[in-house]
């Protein structure tokens, strides 16, 4: 018997904002397809947690979003899990500095393919299922899509492209599918090679009217609002940034 719970595919859902979004949608009664690239163990742990709360309500799907063939396979696998798809959250992205004098073709391909091409190809592959259920798409943008961050030209360009594509697709796919974006400010500080020092963190907070970082639930809540509670909203990009975009 086919499960009648609505289904969301969330990319980059093994940790950080994606995992919080998966939990919050799950709390609303959704089944979730948890995408990961390399964090399979974390994704499995999250799926086990959610399946303990409600049987067969979470599955893990793995793919490298920089590879077009894997994006297509991801879409097919996610849709096959419960024979439906009601929402797509394009959360996964890569973020690291690539100063113009040092950026390589490989950097271009990695950033653009993951942050911009993959959301388009994934939506394209999921289109029939989303249309069947009057689905919703939420793309994770960034406040730097409007006012670029120094030494991140590829990342900023990819997010600006995603913002424009969000609005374009909202026009093209209406009235069957709603497409919106969420643009985070300072929520979780970058990790690994993209990490920033404490003094720079403080300079960011000094420009944020609410004078603090947000929480992952602030972003997850905005995503869930756009999917579940905003049936007359499409083509919008909601800044969840503590007012920082006012002072950039």
Q: Is 25 helix (H, G, I), strand (E, B) or coil?
A: helix
Closest CA to 22 of 40, 35, 3: 35
Question: What are the tokens at 168?
Answer: 């374009």
Largest distance between two CA atoms of the chain: 57
Residue 17: exposure state from Cβ atoms within 10 A (0-12, 13-18, ≥19)? buried
Q: What are phi and psi of 128, to 5 degrees?
A: -60, -45
User: Token pair of 114, please?
Assistant: 């993951």
CA distance 239 to 248: 13
Annotated catalytic residue 155: yes
Residue listed under structure tokens 């992952």: 216
What's the CA gap between 130 and 7, in Å, rounded?
Answer: 10
Beta strands in the chain (DSSP E): 7-10, 31-36, 58-62, 87-90, 136-140, 178-184, 237-240
Q: d(Cα 90, Cα 9) in Å, to the nearest integer?
A: 8
Of 96, 144, 155, 200, catalytic: 155
Distance, first Cα to last Cα, the chain:
52
Catalytic residues: 155
């Amino acid at each position: 018997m086919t499960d009648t719970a609505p289904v969301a595919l969330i990319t980059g859902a093994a940790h950080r904002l994606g995992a919080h979004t998966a939990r919050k949608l799950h709390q609303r009664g959704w089944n979730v397809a948890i995408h990961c690239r390399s964090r399979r163990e974390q994704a499995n742990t999250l799926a086990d947690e959610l399946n303990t709360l409600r049987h067969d309500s979470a599955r893990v799907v793995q793919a490298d979003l920089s590879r077009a063939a894997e994006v297509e396979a991801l879409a097919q696998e996610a849709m096959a899990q419960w024979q439906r798809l009601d929402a797509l959250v394009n959360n996964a992205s890569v973020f690291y500095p690539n100063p113009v004098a040092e950026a390589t073709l490989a950097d271009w391909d990695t950033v653009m393919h993951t942050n911009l091409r993959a959301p388009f190809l994934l939506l394209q592959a999921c289109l029939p299922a989303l249309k069947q259920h009057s689905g919703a798409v939420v793309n994770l943008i960034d406040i730097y899509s409007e006012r670029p961050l120094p030494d991140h030209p590829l990342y900023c360009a990819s997010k600006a492209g995603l913002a424009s594509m969000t609005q374009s697709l909202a026009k093209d796919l209406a009235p069957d599918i709603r497409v919106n974006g969420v643009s985070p400010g300072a929520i979780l500080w970058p990790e690994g090679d993209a990490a920033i020092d404490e003094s720079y963190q403080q300079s960011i907070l000094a420009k944020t009217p609410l004078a603090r970082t947000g929480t992952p639930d602030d972003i997850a809540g905005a995503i869930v609002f756009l999917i579940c509670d905003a049936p007359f909203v499409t083509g919008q990009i909601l800044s969840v940034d503590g007012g920082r975009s006012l002072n950039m």
